[in-house]
Amino acid sequence: MIISMKPGASREQIERVCERIREMDFEVRSIQGDERVVIAAVGLGNVTHAIEALRSVEGVENGVPISAPYKLVSRQVKDERTVVAVGQTSIGGGEFAIIAGPCSVETEEQIMACAAAVSAGGGRFLRGGAYKPRTSPYSFQGLEEEGLKLLRKAADEYDLSVVTEVMTLGNVQLVADYADVLQIGARNVQNFPLLKEIGATTSCPVMLKRGQSATIEEFLLSAEYIVTNGNPNVVLCERGIRTFESVTRNTLDINAVPVLNQLTHLPIILDPAHATGKRDLIPPLVRAAVAVGADGAMVEIHPDPERAWSDGAQSMTFDQFAKVMNDIEPYVELWKAGRPELVGLSA
């Protein structure tokens, strides 16, 4: 880490900083600049803690880490890309994963119809919410365990894998009994007790959604919570960040795909439905997801979007979904042919 002193910091202040650095198990290398003293510290101490502490010492202007604060999820620790096995298929390997289904599981008929449509379109993953985090207490909150059962039944009928959200520590085992992939929603990206629990008590694959205001570094630190607690099967999902633009619900941070491909070995999925909130914008963004080198895309479909119990405006009809699947086919072919280059690392 690099600690820069305020211009005019006194000899004593500088000495004190150096002492504190040594106390925290680093070696000191100080550099006399023209305007101020800069102190570099190398060693095996806890950098995050040390910077926090040093910023509060008098005379210090700023402290910046040199290394990233996450370890296990970084490409420095593990360079080859992680392939997360899910049932007969996988995410991050040779297939572009399409995860589709309704926002909420509503009825057996609805989820069965969705599963049939996913399967017909060539998708391998059925999504659907049984526990729903809703901004308003007056909105539909999900069918809970009944929803999980319906989801499992529909997936089994069509040989699909289930992706569904878990919201509380107490439900992790229950949801894991029905799901093939546990989704951690955007609002829980920094629910650290939940991340620890999922890391420590299950090896079920996890799809971690980026929070609306999570930086990429924070997102990776949240993934690190899961991995360092014991579960390495993490898939990242970028689903839009909060910006000033209000025509779309969020702004899909497509930059995040090549950035994450450089920083981490974990697979990355894009979710254009939540990033836009508008069904019509989804087809071109799914194409972009393939082209940019993501490992998959998640979309919402519904047999009758205008009667959906939640998120109808961003759900595609089955016809639209079929069209999208058809539309992206040649892009997926290119993706398969050029995987290593696609991730942009060799450019």
* Binders in 190-249 for a copy of itself, by CB under 8 A: 190-193, 196, 211-213, 215-218, 221, 224-225, 228-229, 241-248
Closer residue to a copy of itself in complex, CB, 173/307: 307
The single residue listed with the structure tokens 């650095």 is 21
Whichever of 91 and 273 has its CB closer to a copy of itself, that residue is: 273
User: Pairing mode, if any, of strands 296-300 and 268-270?
Assistant: parallel
Contacts of 333 (CB under 8 A, 6+ apart): none
Between CA 155 and CA 240 the distance in angstroms is: 27
Which window, 80-88, 109-117, 156-164, 167-175, contacts a copy of itself (CB under 8 A)? 167-175
Instruction: Please tell me the number of Cα atoms within 13 Å of 81 on its side-chain side.
Output: 19
Check residue 112 for interaction with a copy of itself (CB under 8 A). no
Identify residues 305-334 at the interface with a copy of itself (CB under 8 A): 305-315, 320, 323-324, 327, 330-331, 334
Residue 13 binds to a copy of itself (criterion: CB under 8 A): no
Q: Kindly give, in sequence order, each residue whose CB lies less than 8 Å from that of residue 327, ignoring residues fewer than 6 positions away.
A: 283, 286, 287
- Cβ proximity to a copy of itself, 52 vs 109, nearer residue: 52
Q: Sheet holding 26-32: strands in order across?
A: 26-32, 37-43, 2-5, 60-64
Residues in Cβ contact with 308 at an 8 Å cutoff, skipping those fewer than 6 apart: 102, 103, 104, 106, 302, 315
Closer to a copy of itself by Cβ: residue 84 or 166: 166
How many residues lie near a copy of itself (CB under 8 A)? 123
Read off the amino acid at residue 192. Answer: F
| CA angle (216 as vertex; 210, 217 as ends), nearest 5 | 120
CB of 114 to a copy of itself, least distance (A): 15
* Per-residue binder mask for a copy of itself (CB under 8 A), 84-103, x = binder: --------------------
Closest CA to 274 of 304, 252, 293, 301: 252
Residue 252 binds a copy of itself, judged by CB under 8 A: yes
Residues 16-75 that bind a copy of itself (CB under 8 A): 20, 29, 31-36, 38, 40, 42-44, 46, 48-49, 52-58, 64, 66-67, 69-70
Which parts of 274-293 interact with a copy of itself (CB under 8 A)? 275-276, 279-285, 287-288, 290-293
